[in-house]
Homo-oligomer: A and B are copies of this chain.
Amino acid sequence: MLSDIEICRVSKLLPIAEVAQRAGLLDSEFHSQGLHKAKVSLKSLKRLAPKPTGKLVLVTAITPTPLGEGKTVTTIGLAQGLAKLNHSVMACIRQPSMGPVFGVKGGAAGGGYSQVAPMEELNLHLTGDIHAVTAAHNLAAAAIDARIYHEQRNGYQDFEQRSGLKALRIDSKRVVWKRVMDHNDRALRMVTIGRNEADKTINGFEREDGFDISAASELMAILALATDLKDLRARIGKIVVAYDLNGNPVTTEDLQVAGAMAVSMKEAIEPTLMQTLEGVPTLIHAGPFANIAHGNSSIIADNIATKLSEYTVTEGGFGSDMGFEKACNIKAQMSGKAPDCAVIVATLRGLKANSGLYDLKPGQPIPESLFECDQNALEAGFENLKWHINNVNKYGVPAVVAINRFPQDSEQELLALKAMIEALPHDVEVAISEGFAKGGEGTVELAQKVVQQTEKHVEFTPLYKFDQPTEEKLMAVAELGYGASSITLSDKAKAQLEEFKTHGYDNLAVCLAKTPLSISTIGSVKGAPSHFDVPVRELKLCAGAGFIYALCGNVMTMPGLPDKPAFMNLDLDENGDIVGLS
């Protein structure tokens, strides 16, 4: 079989204007960016508002191996399968981060015959949205340190006289806005900035700082959750970047940088239209990392797609404890649009890995032994799938399990797994999905099951309401969302919670960051753990995004590169074409 990029290159793509027109957009509602990308104007939302809203299908997964279980393959494959059934359909996915593209995981365009194309444009830069988020984020960071420097170098009074501005008196030990970069760069996790030669202050005042990966920026969550440009601007202005010497919050509005940040993100708020290899229109918007970020595609993209099509297929990163949880509790509660059905992607290798009988580490290849038949391992790992089916149903959402078939999989084992799922008492259907090898032809059964499940009435039940006390909301995600027996806030987190309350930051959602490799907060704990604690080491107020962000366990918000990063395979060939991207 050809490699992903080879398949992509030999496929015949439609001009993007034709994709847009077929999707139902007017010529004034999109701007082509080269041959195969277009920015979709938010004007379309207004025109489409009176139209009926289509079904929203949310693709999630079992607890994945570090290489993922093929959620994007299944999302794109399913969209193509629905198109084969002559339904109007769109896919909504997130823009890949260059961190994983150059790091371990590689691209995030799907794979095989279920890809968004051209995959190299999707995986690199795209239309610059992540760069715009990075630029806006770091502008605020530069603004903070410049303000501290100018206010303190000759004293507040001198600053006020010189500039005509009121001193903000930022406490340089209490800056809560880090910098960001769209790379896996562990050396930037903890840095000291503002260093000087000898006793000078020409480079500002020294302080501790750090970099997160751009997808974890609050601005990325704002991009995903904003409903229009005005809402984006308003949310940006609410961001708390620091505290002053009296302990009061300092916002981007106080720094007079919120307007410029919104200006920098003015084009990023428009989703990018692309197509699958079979011509299904696909919107790309917002960023990945449902472990350390909100990590779902945008409300704006969903709103456009569900107005344009009968079915919108989107995905939430990692298992249903991760992206799906955030899609339901944060995104759906903000947008008012709940998923009509969840597709849970499972693989034989992923279930066996969930048996706990194998030692898988991020950055290392999947052992071949995982593809051998092993009923014991499958049964042990099945507990994890059952957990996720049950979890999805808990929100009132009907489920379909998509068994994502790998070429090495045994037919017998696949059928055994299918039978195990069919025997469950849950609200679940199952289909073997062959989107990778066969495109939409390989997902017709899956598409039929999805259509069937979306016909049901959904009594959507999020795990909490925004107006509950924050402790209760955190507890709801830990206990109902993960099945933990308890949640423990560190002293630091407790103090932060008190402070947020003091400043009136209540009634927000909660966004928990934890490892995606376990339902618990410890990556090596596989299967369907119970009787575990969720330790919250630190909280972060994201008043613009509208949630309180909780760092659980030892999760890190800036990944690192492995021994042999994926970038080593990338190059240009004789014709200037990209090779080695997958």
> Which A residues are within 8 Å of any B CB, using their own CB?
31-35, 39, 98, 102, 120, 124-125, 127-128, 131-132, 134-135, 138-139, 141-143, 145-146, 149-150, 159, 162-165, 179, 181-197, 202-205, 208-209, 229-230, 233, 256-260, 262-264, 266-267, 560-565, 567-568, 570-572, 576, 578, 580-581
Contact = CB atoms under 8 A, between A and B. Distances in A.
B125 A267 contact: yes
Given A31-B35, A132-B125, A142 B561 contact: yes
A105 to B, nearest CB: 15
B98 A135 contact: yes
A98 to B, nearest CB: 6
Contacts of A146: 184-187, 560-562, 565
A21 to B, nearest CB: 16
Nearest to A564: B163
B135 A182 contact: yes
B578 A266 contact: yes
One complex includes copies of this chain to the number of 2
Contact of A142 (B184, B197, B233, B257): B184
A190 B195 contact: yes
B571 A260 contact: yes
Given A125-B264, A186-B194, 8 more contacts: A127-B128, A145-B185, A146-B560, A190-B195, A191-B192, A259-B571, A259-B572, A260-B571
12 contacts: A32-B33, A128-B131, A135-B182, A142-B185, A145-B185, A162-B563, A187-B194, A187-B204, A192-B195, A259-B580, A263-B570, A263-B571
A260 B567 contact: yes
A395 to B, nearest CB: 35
Nearest to A229: B576
B263 A563 contact: no
Nearest to A34: B31
A46 B567 CA distance: 31
Contact of A263 (B124, B134, B138, B185): B124
Contacts of A561: 142-143, 146
A525 to B, nearest CB: 20
B183 A572 contact: no
Given A260-B570, A262-B572, A188 B183 contact: no
A565 B189 CA distance: 28
B34 A39 contact: yes
B102 A139 contact: yes
A191 B185 contact: no
B186 A145 contact: yes
B204 A263 contact: no
A63 B4 CA distance: 54
A125 B125 contact: no
Given A31-B35, A135-B131, A188 B192 contact: no
B193 A191 contact: yes
A563 B165 contact: yes
A324 to B, nearest CB: 29
A133 to B, nearest CB: 11
Contact of A102 (B159, B204, B260): B260
B571 A142 contact: no
**CB-based closest 6 A-B pairs:** A259-B571, A146-B561, A260-B567, A145-B187, A131-B131, A142-B185
Contacts of A33: 32-34
A46 to B, nearest CB: 12
Given A150-B563, A266-B578, A188 B193 contact: yes
A147 to B, nearest CB: 8
Contacts of A98: 135, 139, 264
From A32, A258, A560, A581, residue with most partner B Cβ within 10 Å: A560
A257 B568 contact: yes
A258 to B, nearest CB: 8
A149 B565 CA distance: 13
Contact of A163 (B124, B141, B181, B563): B563
A141 B570 CA distance: 17
A34 B270 CA distance: 12
A195 B184 CA distance: 16
A165 B31 contact: no
A185 B142 CA distance: 5
Contacts of A202: 186
A31 B37 CA distance: 11
Contact of A138 (B139, B183, B564, B580): B183
Contacts of A571: 233, 258-260, 262-263
Nearest to A202: B186
A138 B259 CA distance: 27
A259 B563 CA distance: 17
A76 to B, nearest CB: 23
A572 B135 contact: no
